[in-house]
Amino acid sequence: MRSNRLALLLLVAPTAFAHHSAAMFDATKTVTLEGSIERYEWANPHVYIHLATSSGTWVVEAGSPSMMERVGWTPDSFAVGDVVSIDVNPTRNAERLMARGIVVRTLDGAALPFRASLMQSPAPAPAPVPAAGLGGNWLPGPQRVPSNGASTARSPTPKGAEALARADPESNPGIDCVALQAPAQMLFTDLKNIELDGATVVLRSAVNVDVERIVHLDQTTHTGAPFTNDGHSIGRWDNGTLVVDTRNFTDHPSGNGGGVPSGAQKHLVEYFELAADRTTLTYRFILEDSEYLAAPFEGSAVWEHRPDLTYTAEKCDLENARRYLEER
């Protein structure tokens, strides 16, 4: 049972632990707020609308900028003084004028949802566009469980199990603008960007923190490299597949997914393989950490080539990152 729980947490980690969960909001209760916008906050890890109403100023939470752009929001969608109504799920703490947004409506009748699942008329999927290579913008789909059942067979070490038992989804290094580590960082369904630059490959992600991972193609060892949150990555080409080997990670309270920490023993191997038609790539990983994981953990996801989308990354704002603590 415990190993299955670990597998589940590792699978859902990119969404459930990216910054904070939605448990503080009452999803069974919908309230309509009406008022004028005092502040429109376009920042990582959350976009916020500060709405002046007759009952006070409400702070309404949306997703990260990279996620909100996917549902039609831009940095200029709203201005101070705009009169709007917003359907929200308020926090369970009735004393807090904070909420999770559902849909915002302007005076001219326009409506913008807060999540893709709430779009009444989702944009049709664009026609697949072949990529010239791995470079470009890529949109990950859901993580896939290995067909050999490996993910459900893995279990934490006693130290990992102890950490998992006391894990608090609301306690997250994101409040200090510390990024998710790979592979969770790479599985989150925000737009990714890959840049091929001679002796390096740059892997970009902006889940809650703007991250640029440098893969060194001209190095063959991790010896002497510094320990960082992203680790030290060396890469090689294997019949067209980019193989990335990463070590030298600093300790992270949920670096192995969910509530399972990671430490200096963490070792990650990732594979980026273009499909034959070059419209998708398969991202696959093998994760080891003898301190916290009793056996390797594997997973994969298919990324779509999306040249129609623009990769943008906002720096993490510390005040913004800590605001959700006020909602509890």
37 and 181 housed in the same domain:
no
138 and 246 housed in the same domain:
yes
pLDDT above 90: residue 169:
no
Q: In this structure, is residue 325 part of a structural domain?
A: no
Single out the residue in 86, 120, 154 at which a domain terminates: 120
304 and 191 housed in the same domain:
yes
Q: In this structure, is residue 241 part of a structural domain?
A: yes
pTM of the shown model: 0.85
- Contacts of 293-296 with C-beta under 8 Å, sequence gap 24+, read 293/154, 293/156, 293/157, 293/160, 293/256, 293/260, 294/154, 294/155, 294/156, 294/157, 294/160, 295/153, 295/154, 295/155, 296/150, 296/154
Q: In this structure, is residue 111 part of a structural domain?
A: yes
Lowest-pLDDT choice from 13-27, 149-163, 193-207, 293-307 = 13-27
Report the range out of 100-104, 164-168, 321-325 with the highest average pLDDT.
Answer: 100-104
Query: What type of residue is 285?
Result: F
What does the pLDDT average to over 99-122?
85
pLDDT above 90: residue 132:
yes
Q: In this structure, is residue 160 part of a structural domain?
A: yes
Query: What pLDDT is recorded for position 199?
Result: 96
Single out the residue in 103, 120, 137 at which a domain terminates: 120
Please state, in angstroms and rounded to a whole number, the distance separating the CA atoms of residues 194 and 137: 7
Q: In this structure, is residue 139 part of a structural domain?
A: yes
What does the pLDDT average to over 298-302?
93
pLDDT above 70: residue 40:
yes
What does the pLDDT average to over 198-227?
95
75 and 147 housed in the same domain:
no
103 and 163 housed in the same domain:
no
Cα-based distances in Å from 32 to 35, 51, 97, 99 = 10, 12, 13, 11
Query: What pLDDT is recorded for position 123?
Result: 64
The count of structural domains within the chain is 2
Kindly report, residue by residue over 186-202, the tens digit of the pLDDT. Answer: 998 889 999 999 999 99
Higher pLDDT, 264 or 210: 264
pLDDT above 80: residue 14:
no
Q: Which two tokens stand for residue 84?
A: 């709007």
CATH number at 247 reads 2.40.128.20
Q: What percent of the chain is predicted at pLDDT more than 70?
A: 86
Single out the residue in 65, 87, 120 at which a domain terminates: 120
Give residue 235's domain range. Answer: 2-16+128-318
